[in-house]
Structure 1
Amino acid sequence: MAPNPAHTALWPAPHASEAVDATVHVPGSKSVTNRALVLAALASEPGWLRRPLRSRDTLLMAEALRAMGVEIEETVSSSSTGGAGNPDLTGEAWRVLPDGLRGPATVDVGNAGTVMRFLPPLAALADGPVRFDGDPRSYERPLHGVIDALRVLGARIDDDGRGTLPLTVHGGGALDGGPVEIDASSSSQFVSALLLSGPRFNQGVEVRHIGSSLPSLPHIRMTVDMLRAVGAQVDTPESGGEPNVWRVTPGALLGRDLTIEPDLSNAQPFLAAALVAGGRVLIPDWPARTTQPGDRLREIFTEMGGSCELTDYGLVFTGSGSIHGIDVDLGDVGELTPGIAAVAALADSPSTLRGVSHLRLHETDRLAALTKEINELGGDVTETADGLHIRPRRLHGGIFHTYDDHRMATAGAIIGLAVEGVQIENVATTAKTMPDFPELWTGMLGA
């Protein structure tokens, strides 16, 4: 089979010839959208998702739920545009009408961690078998935490002993639930997957993490907050419970009318542009309170040389014209690592990024990929046991490979702002979470 031309094409990363001054409307959060879809599918009444993200990962989630018997009606408005040619998403909504979960069904997870991990627990509640398959890379991503836990909780799963995709969940219409121990040190999504469906298990669920440090805790807090918002009772370590134990009480979930926040992690390259090129970027509707890990960008990028102000309209981020190195633990916000590494490669002093060994199991081995690609542009990046050490060097143009990883593509674009001649291989991979990234990027630069 011939390769998809979109996967081999080279995109000349725009070079910033002057300081930026732009308003960028960032699409909705993938993490919130996919959790909201799952909770709406499990609810006892219809719900609305307003301004959802429409990207490969979220459309895979919606199609998977439809295959399992959930009706999702889409209303899409393209009547007007916002600043820099950005779509006005205020008229976009999905209505979710739960009507039981059914099999037989086949689910394509693509390479979406949320789909491959959040939906097997739902499939255990379906009336019939549900087969899960996906991209070749999805076979390499860890899933054992969910598979093993579901078996303990009463589910029957065929995976030929691999602990990965492809697999079939033989839904029995219900699941006993109860206590389960898991090692979620490779992905916090193992915990979220069980919590999201826990209210529908006969005994609820008690998830006890027994491994080493747990990455991406803000994503678990996001799951807990969203469960509570639809009526679930959740006990957590933060609310006085045992360390590393989460309990969800069985009960009905409410339908919600939810407006999805902008994806703050996807705002990262645009904020980085103000650091790299100088100038100012406004991200409208930045929430004053959020569980999104991307909110930590305000702190990290300020330490690296910028300044920010949260206004009633959104977040205004301003670059100072210089970039400073940083020593930072990114264990809770690992998805921000590629963009931070790109900025650090352009800084005036070395950086050490720690706490992210789990990134070796993401869409690609992100630590190896960042090291290779930045070094091939003349950089000096060294892998450590749990992260990266980056010594800034004068970089030159060249091909920046993405490994079908959306955050690698945006990292390359950040470097391209300061380094002429950078070409991004397969920028189309950004469609995983931000389908309009090339247009938003050139619009930010006034092109």
Structure 2
Amino acid sequence: MTSAPPTTEPWAAPHARGPVQAAVSLPGSKSLTNRALVLAALAEGPSVVRRALRSRDTLLMAGALTALGARVETATDDWTVEPAPLVGGGSVDCGLAGTVTRFVPPVAGLADGPVAFDGDPGMRTRPVGEVLTALRALGVRIDGDRLPFTVHGTGSLRGGRVVLDASGSSQFVSALLLAGARFEEGLDLLHDGKALPSQPHIDMTVAMLRGHGVEVDDGEPARWRVAPGPILAVDQSIEPDLSNAAAFLALAATTGGRVTVRDWPAQTTQAGDAIRDLLGRMGCSVLRDELGLTVTGSDRIKGIDVDLHEVGELTPVVAALCALADGPSYLRGIAHIRGHETDRIAALATELRGLGADVTELADGLELRPATLHGGLFRSYADHRMAHAAAVLGSAVEGVRVDDVAATSKTFPDFPAVWSALLDAR
């Protein structure tokens, strides 16, 4: 577990002086945007990704697809994508984006030459080997098992049956599914390993493929069959990022206030939608109507015993709330988040203890008990979700400082300003 050097002086997380009463419109989902961009680049004609998230991760994806020959116009909030024959000879900057590192290599396997991949130092330690091993089994030559690596595309990929262990990340499955229809024989993908994490993200991928006219059979557990065929060009509107929304809704709990996130979808495949149930179990009132999702806090935060295996990305914000709760909490089933932007379990345990929390690090989660917290420096480890957790804590605990709030640019470049404005205008 290492920390990137801070890009700015520590950010003083704003402390709420009373209940926050606010309504906020949030940027689009990173998960939806990057999947939409990949499918648009592989489609049979041009399309538009409306309300695309403009962040470091999504701009890296646009740059990666451009390096492979697609034209991605990002000047407005509606990004136009014009597919073209996939070309090799270029390079892809993955940054710290797992979606770029994992989703783009199968696309590069369809290119007509070598494509070099590299990224931030932190990305070089994150797992990607299962995707590369699966591609090798499908006939792709790849130099390297972690960043940096080079995919030697030959212009086509036969496809067929492949077995992989996706217990480390659901993105391993999504990466192959997104490109599977372009393989000559399609794809018959089988997961062989421990329980899959973040199943909602795989469901999201399958739903988006079907929305593009791709035939996907997922009727058998841990197996997905993608029929070969065209990927239809479909204009798509991106929902607000519900995982980013978790921090803002948490303000209702930490301040006893009322926060509305506008345009909350009635139905969604985003894992972040689970924050509704979690906040309800922690003592908040939750209402979704035509305006969006409104969370109203009470005079206490209840502890929670929950398996977050399916929604591990919510762990940092939930852990921050648990550190403020008046009863014990047990967060389980999240061993896989040790392989996210940082080892989130170890990082949360370390930083929460630094603010006075009573927390025990478990192999697959955290145990937290009531304690009196105090201010101090909270390190983000170049991880946007860690910075979100620090901001949530700072709303309730005076004197919390974040070493690198700029890490939030990964999925929400304006986070510090939007967050501060909400607390200033409470």
Name the TM-score, length of structure 1 as normaliser. Answer: 0.93
Residue 37 of structure 1 is matched in structure 2 by 37
Residue 399 of structure 2 is matched in structure 1 by 421
Matched, 1:9 2:9: yes
Give the drift of 1:74: 2.6
Matched, 1:53 2:53: yes
| CA offset digits 1:274-311 (Å, max 9, x no partner) | 00001111111100000000000000010001111111
Match of residue 287, structure 2, among 309, 313, 327: 309
Match of residue 178, structure 1, among 160, 163, 175: 160
Residue 354 of structure 1 is matched in structure 2 by 332
Residue 80 of structure 2 is matched in structure 1 by 95
* SS of 2:190 mapped into structure 1: strand
Match of residue 232, structure 1, among 191, 214, 226: 214
Matched, 1:395 2:378: no
Residue 220 of structure 1 is matched in structure 2 by 202
Gaps spanning 5+ residues in structure 1: where?
77-91
Alignment of 1:257-272 (within 5 A): 257-272=235-250
| CA offset digits 1:397-437 (Å, max 9, x no partner) | 10000000000001001011111111011000000001000
Once residues 74 and 245 of structure 2 are traced to their aligned partners in structure 1, the CA distance between those partners, rounded to angstroms, is 25
Instruction: Give the letter for the 2:88 counterpart.
Output: G
Instruction: Give the letter for the 2:411 counterpart.
Output: T
Alignment of 1:44-443 (within 5 A): 44-76=44-76, 92-159=77-144, 163-236=145-218, 241-443=219-421
| CA offset digits 1:202-250 (Å, max 9, x no partner) | 00001100000110000000000000000000011xxxx2211011000
**For residues 6 and 36 of structure 1, do their structure 2 counterparts lie closer, same or farther at Cα, with a shift above 3 Å needed?**
same
Give the drift of 1:255: 0.9
| CA offset digits 1:333-376 (Å, max 9, x no partner) | 00000000000000010100000001111100000000000001
Instruction: Give the letter for the 2:45 counterpart.
Output: E
Once residues 21 and 188 of structure 2 are traced to their aligned partners in structure 1, the CA distance between those partners, rounded to angstroms, is 49
Instruction: Give the letter for the 1:16 counterpart.
Output: A
* SS of 2:309 mapped into structure 1: coil
Residue 21 of structure 2 is matched in structure 1 by 21
Once residues 162 and 370 of structure 2 are traced to their aligned partners in structure 1, the CA distance between those partners, rounded to angstroms, is 46
**For residues 293 and 4 of structure 1, do their structure 2 counterparts lie closer, same or farther at Cα, with a shift above 3 Å needed?**
closer
Contact 2:16 2:396 in 1 (8 A): yes
Gaps spanning 5+ residues in structure 2: where?
none
Give the drift of 1:7: 2.0
Instruction: Give the letter for the 1:197 counterpart.
Output: A
Once residues 210 and 258 of structure 1 are traced to their aligned partners in structure 2, the CA distance between those partners, rounded to angstroms, is 33
Give the drift of 1:100: 1.3
Once residues 256 and 186 of structure 2 are traced to their aligned partners in structure 1, the CA distance between those partners, rounded to angstroms, is 51
Contact 2:4 2:382 in 1 (8 A): no
Give the drift of 1:8: 4.6
Give the drift of 1:446: 3.1
Instruction: Give the letter for the 1:28 counterpart.
Output: G
Once residues 274 and 375 of structure 2 are traced to their aligned partners in structure 1, the CA distance between those partners, rounded to angstroms, is 30
- The percent of aligned pairs where both chains have the same amino acid is 59
Once residues 11 and 201 of structure 2 are traced to their aligned partners in structure 1, the CA distance between those partners, rounded to angstroms, is 32
Contact 2:4 2:381 in 1 (8 A): no
* SS of 1:332 mapped into structure 2: helix
Give the drift of 1:321: 2.2
Once residues 134 and 233 of structure 1 are traced to their aligned partners in structure 2, the CA distance between those partners, rounded to angstroms, is 33
Once residues 81 and 289 of structure 2 are traced to their aligned partners in structure 1, the CA distance between those partners, rounded to angstroms, is 33
Give the drift of 1:257: 1.2
Give the drift of 1:4: 9.4
Give the drift of 1:5: 8.2
Give the drift of 1:73: 1.6
Instruction: Give the letter for the 2:402 counterpart.
Output: I
Give the drift of 1:6: 5.4
| CA offset digits 1:61-97 (Å, max 9, x no partner) | 0011111110012342xxxxxxxxxxxxxxx200100
* SS of 2:153 mapped into structure 1: strand
Residue 85 of structure 1 is matched in structure 2 by none
Once residues 124 and 41 of structure 2 are traced to their aligned partners in structure 1, the CA distance between those partners, rounded to angstroms, is 26
| CA offset digits 1:188-214 (Å, max 9, x no partner) | 100000000000000000110000011
Once residues 181 and 59 of structure 2 are traced to their aligned partners in structure 1, the CA distance between those partners, rounded to angstroms, is 25
**For residues 297 and 4 of structure 1, do their structure 2 counterparts lie closer, same or farther at Cα, with a shift above 3 Å needed?**
closer
* SS of 2:276 mapped into structure 1: helix
Once residues 421 and 5 of structure 2 are traced to their aligned partners in structure 1, the CA distance between those partners, rounded to angstroms, is 24
Contact 2:50 2:79 in 1 (8 A): yes
